Amino acid sequence: MGLPGKAKVKGDHRAMEWDLILQRYVWGELSEEERASLELELERSPELRARLEAYVRLHSALEDISKQGVAAPDLSRSIERRVQLASYLRGMLQLCGGVVASYARAILAMLGLSR
Amino acid sequence: MESPDKTRELLAETELVRAAREGDKEAFGALVRRYQSDVYRLCYRVLGDHHDAEDATQEAFLRAYDRLEQLESASKFRSWLLRIAVNTCLNERRRRRPTTELEEWHQQDPQDPETSTLRAEGLRQVERAIQELPKNHRIALVLKDLEGLDYPQIADYLEVQEGTARVWVYRARQRLREIIERWNGT
């Protein structure tokens, strides 16, 4: 892993790179070698450790949220009604379109404009 | 390899999708009952409001019904439906803004005696913070960290390059980390 130089995580242009590396560490996306390099860096930098701690808390919070159930209301009746209504409207539109087209053809024929 | 139960379930689902495509509304109703919780959960996590999630869920199923003929493989109904739900959420104009308690919470003194109460409310606050993220970043984070999708799937759902999906998740987490640091007064 290319560690982004001395671990100054605040006001440093490398801060974003450190953020990415710390995220990958917490979310288990680093190789063994990369983890070892980062852990050495973590021993040296309290700033980096503080930032790591925040990501660990975030990871844990997101995991807890993902495990929480979301109580879903039963929308099946309402969806089925809307599907039926949509089908009915579509059918009516097709029918109306057909009737209008027939009238138009009849008028054109009456006016002698049809081929 | 799929387990026998899973295979049977998939076969049944394929049959339901085929029947629904042929206009069988009961078959479509069965698909609604099977997947409404998944769609609702995703919409709620993205939109952060139960009424908006209800609207988006219904809209997603209606769009799915209208586009059943476009579904390439009946066995991929669930992921296709969730992709429609993601797009519905992207286009959903929020009727209600979440409360601004998040901002109030940012302004709290971390040494305040109420700090412990705030800590206990941590999860709720993180959920609110998620709602403050830009929409694309929020959806990418929800799909990755709450729904457990991988980056190629997220890229597919959001119709972006995998690299873009990674950047959106990264930025979302970074922003949430900043909020958590403020929460802890660091």
Specify if B96 maps to a domain. no
pLDDT digits (tens, 9 = 90+) for A51-67: 999 999 999 999 999 99
- CA B167, A15, B46, A61 torsion: positive or negative? positive
| Domain span including residue B108 | 101-183
pLDDT digits (tens, 9 = 90+) for B144-171: 999 999 999 999 999 999 999 999 999 9
pTM assigned to the model: 0.77
Same domain for B77 and B114, yes or no, is no
Same domain for B25 and B58, yes or no, is yes
Same domain for B68 and B135, yes or no, is no
B56, exposed or middle or buried, with CB in 10 Å at 0-12, 13-18, 19+? buried
Query: CA of B58, closest CA in chain A: separation in Å?
Result: 6
Using the predicted structure, report yes or no on whether residue B176 has a pLDDT greater than 70: yes
Same domain for B66 and B48, yes or no, is yes
Interface of B with A (CB under 8 A): 25, 28-29, 32-33, 36-37, 40-41, 44-45, 50, 54, 57-58, 61-62, 65-66, 122-123, 126-127, 145-148, 170, 173-174, 176-177, 180-181, 184, 186
Inter-chain contact A79–B61, Cβ cutoff 8 Å?
yes
- The amino acid at residue B168 is W
Same domain for B85 and B109, yes or no, is no
* Residue B108 confidence (pLDDT): 43
CA distances from B156 to A27, B53, B71, B110 (A): 21, 22, 15, 41
Same domain for B13 and B59, yes or no, is yes
Same domain for B115 and B69, yes or no, is no
Q: What is the three-class DSSP state of B67?
A: coil
Same domain for B49 and B115, yes or no, is no
Same domain for B14 and B77, yes or no, is yes
The domain boundary, picked from B26, B61, B91, lies at B91
The domain boundary, picked from B47, B67, B91, lies at B91
pLDDT band at B102; cut points 50, 70, 90: very low
Torsion of CA B149, B152, B156, B162, to 10 degrees: 120
pLDDT digits (tens, 9 = 90+) for B23-36: 888 899 999 999 99
- The amino acid at residue A104 is A
Same domain for B53 and B116, yes or no, is no
Residue A17 touches partner B, C-beta closer than 8 Å: no
Total domains, chain B: 2
Identify the CATH number of the domain in which residue B123 sits. 1.10.10.10
Of residues B7 and B65, the one with the higher pLDDT is B65
CB-defined contacts A:B, below 8 A: 93
Task: Give the C-alpha separation, A5 to B141, whole Å.
Answer: 28
Kindly state the average pLDDT of the residues A17-24: 93
User: Residue ranges of the domains in chain A?
Assistant: 15-67, 72-115
Kindly state the average pLDDT of the residues B101-113: 42
pLDDT band at B113; cut points 50, 70, 90: very low
This model of the complex carries an ipTM of: 0.77
A38 near A30, Cβ under 8 Å? yes
Specify if B122 maps to a domain. yes
Same domain for B118 and B78, yes or no, is no
The domain boundary, picked from B91, B115, B145, lies at B91
Identify the CATH number of the domain in which residue B52 sits. 1.10.1740.10
Closest Cβ–Cβ partner in B36, B40, B122 for A61: B122
Using the predicted structure, report yes or no on whether residue A8 has a pLDDT greater than 60: no
Using a CB-CB cut-off of 8 Å, the residues of chain B touching A16 are 174
Using a CB-CB cut-off of 8 Å, the residues of chain B touching A79 are 29, 32, 36, 57-58, 61-62
- Residue count (chain B): 186
Using the predicted structure, report yes or no on whether residue A3 has a pLDDT greater than 80: no
Task: Give the C-alpha separation, B65 to B88, whole Å.
Answer: 14
Q: What is the three-class DSSP state of B48?
A: coil
Residue A93 touches partner B, C-beta closer than 8 Å: no
Same domain for B79 and B111, yes or no, is no
Using a CB-CB cut-off of 8 Å, the residues of chain A touching B122 are 61
Closest Cβ–Cβ partner in A65, A75, A80 for B54: A75
